[in-house]
Amino acid sequence: MRRFDPRWLIVLLANMLLWWLVCLANNLLADHSIHLYLGGLFIVYASLRLDWKHGVTATVLTGLMFDAMEPVPFGTSMMLLGLVHATLVYGRQRFPREGAVFGIVVALLANLFLVIALSFLMVGANPRPGEAWLRIFVDLLASQLVILAVTPWFLELQAQAMHLARIHPETGRRVSL
C-alpha cells in the first residue's frame, strides 16, 4: 500500500502563502503604479530540492494558480513555469542546490526570463506598446529587489515546513526530529 507523500502539497501551500503576501504588497503598491511579479521565486525550491514528479506537480499547480489570477490566457503561466522548472531540473546536478546564494541567483534569472517572456507575449495587447516597456522595466527592477530580499526567507520557510512534516525533501523518506 502506498502512503501519501505530501511534498508537493507543502510546497504548493507555501507558494499560496507567498502569493497572498505578494497580492497584499501589490495592493499597497498600486497607488505608486508598481506591480511585483515574483514568478521565478515560486519554482526555485521545487526545482532544486524536490524530485521531478513532486516538483512538477507543485509547479504546474502554482502556474494554474497564477493563470486564475493574472490577466493572461489560461495556461500561459503554467507552460512558462513548467519550462523553467524543466530547465532547472535538467541542469541541477551541475550546481550546488543548497544554500541561499544559489537560490537567489536562480530566482533572479528565472524571474528575468519569465518577465521578458510574458512581456513579449502580452505587450501587443497594450494600446501603446512602445510606452509599456519603461513600465515593465520599473516593475522588473522592483520585483528583482524584492526577490533579492525575500528569497532566503522563503527557501527557509519551505525547508522548515518539510522539517516539521518530518520529510526529507529529495527522497520523501520520513526523518526523525
- pLDDT tens string 13-44: 999 999 999 999 999 999 999 999 999 999 99
Averaged pLDDT, 111-120? 93
For residue 143, give the 3-state DSSP assignment. Answer: helix
Whether residue 2 has pLDDT greater than 60: no
Q: Report, in angstroms and rounded to the nearest whole number, the Rg of the chain calculated over CA atoms.
A: 17
What's residue 5's pLDDT? 82
C-alpha cell at 100: 541561499
Which residue do the cell numbers 527522497 mark? 171
**Model confidence at 106, in pLDDT bands (50, 70, 90)?**
very high
* Cα distances (angstroms) measured from residue 48 to each of 9, 44, 53, 151, 155: 16, 6, 13, 13, 11
The predicted model gives 47-54 an average pLDDT of 91
Q: Which of the two residues, 22 and 91, has the higher pLDDT score?
A: 22
All three cell numbers of 54, joined, read 513532486
Burial class (CB in 10 A: 0-12, 13-18, 19+), 90: exposed
- Rounded Cα distance between 76 and 107, Å, is 19
- Match 522548515 to its residue by C-alpha cell: 160
| E-strand stretches of 46-158 | none
What is the per-residue pLDDT for 175?
A: 77
User: What share of the chain in percent tops pLDDT 70?
Assistant: 96
Res. 110: pLDDT tops 90: yes
